[in-house]
Amino acid sequence: MKITIFGSGYVGLVTGACFAEVGNEVMCVDIDENKINRLLNGEIPIYEPGLDTIVSENLREGRLKFTTSITDGVDFGLYQFIAVGTPPDEDGSADLSHVLSVAESIGRNMEDYRIVINKSTVPVGTADLVRETIRTVLEERGRAIDFDVVSNPEFLKEGDAVDDFMKPDRIIVGVDNPRTKELLRNLYAPFNRSHERFIAMDIRSAELTKYAANAMLATKISFMNEIANIAERAGADVEAVRRGIGSDSRIGFSFIYPGVGYGGSCFPKDVRALERTSRKLGYNSRILQAVEAVNDDQKLSLVSKIRDHFDGDLKGRVIAMWGLAFKPNTDDMREAPSRKVMEELWKAGAIVRAYDPVAMDEARRIYGDRPDLVLVEHPDEALKGADALTIMTEWMVFRSPDFELIRNSLKEPVIFDGRNIYNPDMVEQVGISYYSIGRRPRL
């Protein structure tokens, strides 16, 4: 099958590569010339395990093409995927300008039937806007060409994106006629073999499903962070509570880890966008507002602990930071808690010595050269001359460190663990003060 994907970011590139991997012909279109040139040279602009192999193989086999030509893209695929960004606009609603600009390009250039599939995360009703945009442009051109619009939200996780796409938990498709349902079912058949994962529904429900899923996961995290804050004040250990409630199969263990808050390109913006949608619809969503507010505060909770430990004076203090990405196995730092923590530390006059296994270039890109950020090439190097160590991302490589080396390297042996990855007794035995989330401080 011939497939065009607009947008070669995390979602578009993975989608394109995975469709090519199962034998389709795929053309990926992006307006970012630099990104397309890098991809044409076999360079992957993002860190995503396993993606480089399938991109380079399919590029070599000629099943995967990259271009900046919108017209070539519209001409190429019967299936036209929209996988461009939907960043928050000034009031937190999803900015649909990229999505609608692709819709307009499709309307302007299509010569025969196309099925337009929206994979970007978009508010309820966007498929109608996409349809209206294409119809208006076709009318301007004086052409009556048939087309369909489908909602097909994406659920892949950065860090596991290729696996998630190849073996999805579910394939959600929002359609308004049986023809598109069958076209989509055929397209996804290679990823739907072992058992039925294809869930077809009306378009608005599919659009809302994506937001509901992300909002539910973010709610679990904020809920657990709230329990952690209560546990801390009550002299309880949230990790014991986590194990206690997770063992209830109705609750489960996933997404109930307390920490410094959620980040990334999806949860913060999607919770916000759903709350704004709900407000526009005349409904006051108190849960979504609380989820966001708890998360904003949670990002600051570690900074308060650092400030209190140093009697309110962080001027000139050097803070080592392990982890910059918003979660392990990605270089993505969009809305990462590390950013909020670093920015607060800088405001208080501290210097950050940071290490991350893959997000260093991203940190350089975001912050450039500044005297209060020192990026180092090894976790141990971050400790040199530092007053304290903070853990911001639970990368595997940080989980079993040489605690004696940490104690001997730090000016004052203290760890602020934003991910609860250490056993407090073990850290304490080595003679390191230990602050974590929702557990009593070990001094």
327 annotated among ligand-binding-site residues: yes
Alpha helices, DSSP H, located in 61-152: 70-76, 97-109, 126-141
8 belongs to the binding site for ligand NAD (CB under 6 A): yes
Choosing from 3, 11, 341, 386, the residue that interacts with ligand NAD (CB under 6 A) is: 11
**Distance of alpha carbon 325 from alpha carbon 361, whole angstroms:** 11
d(CA 339, CA 333): 8
Q: Which residues are catalytic?
A: 266
Selected from 4, 12, 314, 351, the binder of ligand NAD by CB under 6 A is: 12
DSSP 261-282: ---SSSHHHHHHHHHHHHHHTT
30 is in an annotated binding site: yes
The CA–CA distances, whole Å, from 426 to 110, 218, 392, 400 equal 64, 31, 19, 11
Tokens for 233, please give them: 């004040």
- Which of positions 131-170 make contact with ligand NAD (CB under 6 A)? 154, 156, 158
Please identify, among the stretches 94-102, 129-137, 142-150, 165-173, the one whose residues bind ligand NAD according to the rule CB under 6 A.
94-102
Q: Is 357 annotated as a binding residue?
A: no
Quote the CA–CA distance of 403 and 425 in Å, as a whole number: 12
Dihedral through CA 201, CA 204, CA 206, CA 209, nearest 10?
Answer: -130
Q: Which of 4, 24, 67, 120 binds ligand NAD (CB under 6 A)?
A: 120
CA distances from 159 to 142, 327, 375 (A): 46, 8, 22
Q: Which is nearer to ligand NAD, 101 or 433 (CB)?
A: 101
Q: Which stretch binds ligand NAD (CB under 6 A): 82-90, 198-206, 301-309, 385-393?
A: 82-90
Beta bridge partners of 26: 3, 64
Does 85 help bind ligand NAD (rule: CB under 6 A)?
yes
β-bridge mates for residue 201, sequence order: 174
**Residue nearest ligand NAD (C-beta atom):** 9
Q: Which is nearer to ligand NAD, 11 or 224 (CB)?
A: 11
Q: Which is nearer to ligand NAD, 156 or 427 (CB)?
A: 156
Residues of this chain, 27-46, that bind ligand NAD according to CB under 6 A: 29-32, 35
Nearest approach, Cβ of residue 41 and ligand NAD (Å): 16
Q: Which residues are annotated as a binding site for substrate?
A: 155-158, 210, 255-259, 263, 327
Positions touching ligand NAD (CB under 6 A) are 6-12, 29-32, 35, 83-86, 98, 101-102, 120-121, 154, 156, 158, 265-266
